[in-house]
Amino acid sequence: MIGRPDYEKARSIKHCCLLAGSRRMSIERKYDGEYCQVHIDLNSPQSCLKIFSKSGRDSTHDRVGLHRAIQDSLLLGTADCRIKKQCILEGELLVWNDDCGRIEPFHKIRKHVRRSGHLLGAGQDSPIKPNEHLMIIFYDLLLLDDRVCALEASNERRQQLQSLVRQIPGHAAIGYRKVIAFSSIDAAKQVTEVFAEAITQRWEGLVLKGCDDSYISYNWTTSAIKLKKDYIPGLGDSADFVIVGGNYSAEDMQEIGIGKLWWTSFHIGCVDNKDEVRRFNVKPRFRIIDIIDRHGIPKDCMMHLNRHGYFTESAFAVSSPYFDVVLDPSRNLRPKTLFMQPFIVELVGAGFDKPSNAGYYTLRFPRLLKIHGDRSFKETTGFDELQDMARQCLEMPSNLEREEKMWIKRLQGYR
């Protein structure tokens, strides 16, 4: 497998323009699926097709639902196939809905793709619908026969990709692309408009590649760029939650590197009976929905949680004089320690998703933004409120034009 390049993260439209410099950039949709590196070897004595995952694992057998689409789109076994020896392409595995004519949310993938022969995390998912199936979006070409395309310019790779792939609606396609010259005076305006459209259409984000740059970059001036809503302060999907408990990992403590810690991961909860608490002042019931660890907690916040949590810790119990805890039996979310005075925190994420073996939505890739010392758990997001927030975020807006104009206006503050 060919190693993937690093990407720069744009923290604003202005920062994106700075990273782009004066380059002509290919603005491409970032698809919310699973990465595929497709290898074709026509001289292989066995199957000529292999599919590798983002981690480099051979996922050919697990992604058998894609084989036909790849074979048909590359015209393998026909006289019209342009591959004579070998080929390596990059793409994204997605779920397509024929009736709606759209790509389905990320969590639908786990119903269609096995992991080492087993369906994982799909215990609470609905059965596969007849109108749903896997598809692949190709977006780069790294090798074609004896031609090492990865060393060539992005523009040239795109042209070769377009001549290689036969697009099949709902099964195989080439990703969206728009070219912007960042040397132009209105480059920031053009990027703002494309990004506003991406947010309105509920895309995961954008990837920017220099039209004259090779696949592998050796310095940041030629690196590809990722532009996502949650990378920009103030734009990500955020809400207030409670931290009700914690766990400890010696390995994580070593990785964090800030000295002795009592907890290295923390359990996020929502008030499950928020209306009753507000109206009748009954004992709160916290539903634990997720865990946030060192990857999503700044070191100063990790220190704060450990210092203050020490004085209110208690062994785990489903019920205490202060609150009750609700655990989903299909998910391993039980903390070793509870905090009798839960922390109120603001989390931000990259949209919403249904975790493995869960029938409800949580923030995707949550990160801790702030610990609130002046708020009550009554002001945090209730469980039902979180589900409504997620559905609203995922659904297409009723007035696309109005929402896109709103985002253009909002993004102007980041130019």
Of 274, 287, 262, 275, the closest CA to residue 361 belongs to: 287
Query: Which residues, 6+ apart, have CB-to-CB distance to 301 below 8 Å?
Result: 368, 371
Which of the following CATH numbers is that of domain 32-174: 1.10.287.610, 3.40.605.10, 3.30.470.30, 3.40.50.300? 3.30.470.30
The 10s digit of each residue's pLDDT in 356-406 is: 989 999 999 999 999 999 999 999 999 999 999 999 999 999 999 999 999
Domain 1-30+178-232, what fold? Dna Ligase; domain 1 (3.30.1490)
Domain 237-394, what fold? OB fold (Dihydrolipoamide Acetyltransferase, E2P) (2.40.50)
**DSSP letters spanning 37-102:** EEEEETT-SS-SEEEE-TTS-B-TTTTGGGHHHHHHHTTTTSTT---SSEEEEEEEEEEEETTTTE
- Would the pLDDT of 217 be above 90? no
Of 143, 139, 161, 138, the closest CA to residue 1 belongs to: 143
Query: Is the pTM here over 0.85, yes or no?
Result: yes
Q: Assign 225 a pLDDT band (cuts: 50, 70, 90).
A: very high
pLDDT of residue 213: 95
CATH 2.40.50.140 in the chain, residues? 237-394
Of 150, 118, 106, 147, the closest CA to residue 2 belongs to: 150
For the chain, what is the largest distance between any 2 Cα atoms, rounded to a whole number of angstroms? 75
CATH 3.30.470.30 in the chain, residues? 32-174
Taking the CB of residue 101, how many other CB atoms lie within 10 A of it? 9
pLDDT of residue 126: 80
Q: Assign 333 a pLDDT band (cuts: 50, 70, 90).
A: very high
pLDDT of residue 142: 98
What number is the average pLDDT over the span 112-125? 78
Tokens of 8: 């720069």
pLDDT of residue 1: 84
CATH 3.30.1490.70 in the chain, residues? 1-30+178-232
pLDDT of residue 56: 93
CA of residue 254 relative to chain centroid, distance? 27
The 10s digit of each residue's pLDDT in 147-202 is: 999 999 999 999 999 999 999 999 999 999 999 999 999 999 999 999 999 999 99
The 10s digit of each residue's pLDDT in 119-152 is: 777 777 788 889 999 999 999 999 999 999 999 9
What number is the average pLDDT over the span 251-271? 96
The residue behind tokens 């004066």 is: 22
What number is the average pLDDT over the span 33-45? 94
Kindly list the distances between the CA atom of residue 221 and the CA atoms of 109, 153, 225, in Å, as whole numbers in the listed order.
35, 15, 10
